[in-house]
Amino acid sequence: MSLLTVGSVAFDALETPFGKTDKIIGGAATYITLSASYFTSENNLVAVVGDDFPQSMIDILKDHGVNTEGLEIRQGEKTFFWSGKYHHDMNTRDTVEVQLNVMGSFDPVIPDAYQNCEFLMLGNTAPSIQKQVIERLTNRPKLIMLDTMNFWMDSAWDDLLEVLKLVDVVTINDEEARQLSGESALVKAAAKIGAMGPKTVIIKKGEHGALLFHGDHVFFAPALPLEEVFDPTGAGDTFAGGFIGYLASTGDVSFNNMKRGIIYGSAMASFCVEKFGAERLFNLSKQEINDRVMQFVSLSAFELQ
């Protein structure tokens, strides 16, 4: 089934203990669509960039089967830019610089060809924009998933609560889940967030894995213990893209299938962190992905006699 992803396509400049980049391609929607492209061929993007955005990168998206009809290229303006520096433990980072540029006036236009998409992924942007996307769709998708972050809890609380009422799945990291719910235990946090709207709550714990909550059901997937984590940028978006891409490819939104989605998403995220930016997502083979998924099976499978 078809997937629509709305979110940022951007330039990032990154510094980790392993090195430093100049402007490279980043943005939530870049990671999401690239990751999802390994699962679904109906992969539609709505985003905005400036005229400084390289055609070569748009071609990479196209080569991955991403429909870029909804990628607005605004003449005379610049692409969203973020730069960040990771601390030694790679779990925390400081934002060095943000230039909103075109994202400051992002007005997501949904091409006619994208209407009737069955799966909608709202990458991390202003909650008011996320809500606008839902309102601009003629028919409600089968599943709407939303990613957000603490910045919007601090700056757009009411808007965030509004859009949360409209979605099926929310992905959020553990600290943000605690902030949003006011609960420190993640089981309680997930229950409170679920009561805000999304029936399914995914709490991302980075190197400590991810929890999937749906009603009384809970599932946990570990992160793969890796020898090297080169750059965590985009891991959460890559995870979300693998998850919803897998759901879209199967058309199955049952809890059991979401568990598989979490495993595929975790496998994709484990690739993402192996190189700077989105580079590792450019040329993966089906075999590599399947081998990685089998590592997750081996990591967490046990039999009681």
Enumerate binding residues for a second copy (CB under 8 A): 88-89, 184-188, 205, 208-209, 211, 218-222, 225-229, 256, 259-260, 262-263, 293, 297-300, 302-305
CB of 139 vs a second copy, minimal distance in Å:
29
Please identify, using beta-carbon distances, which residue of 155 and 290 lies nearer to a second copy.
290
CB of 233 vs a second copy, minimal distance in Å:
18
Please identify, using beta-carbon distances, which residue of 135 and 216 lies nearer to a second copy.
216
Burial class of 109 by CB neighbour count within 10 A (0 to 12, 13 to 18, 19+): exposed
CB of 250 vs a second copy, minimal distance in Å:
9
How many Å apart are CA 114 and CA 45, to the nearest integer? 9
Please identify, using beta-carbon distances, which residue of 41 and 295 lies nearer to a second copy.
295
Residue 240: helix, strand or coil by DSSP?
Answer: helix
| DSSP one-letter string for 11-80 | EEEEEETTEE-SSEEE-HHHHHHHHHTTT-S-EEEEEEEETTS-HHHHHHHHHTTEEEEEEEEETT----
CB of 229 vs a second copy, minimal distance in Å:
7
Please identify, using beta-carbon distances, which residue of 75 and 298 lies nearer to a second copy.
298
Please identify, using beta-carbon distances, which residue of 109 and 187 lies nearer to a second copy.
187
Within 8 A by CB and 6+ apart from 16, the residues are 85, 86, 90, 230, 231, 232, 276
Q: Provide the β-strand partners of residue 213.
A: 201, 218
Here the tokens at position 269 are 């995220």
Q: Give the phi and the psi of residue 101 in degrees, each rounded to 5.
A: 50, -125
CB of 269 vs a second copy, minimal distance in Å:
15
Please identify, using beta-carbon distances, which residue of 89 and 97 lies nearer to a second copy.
89
Q: Provide the β-strand partners of residue 99.
A: 81
CB of 297 vs a second copy, minimal distance in Å:
7
Q: What is the signed CA dihedral for 276, 91, 243, 184, rounded to 10 degrees?
A: -170
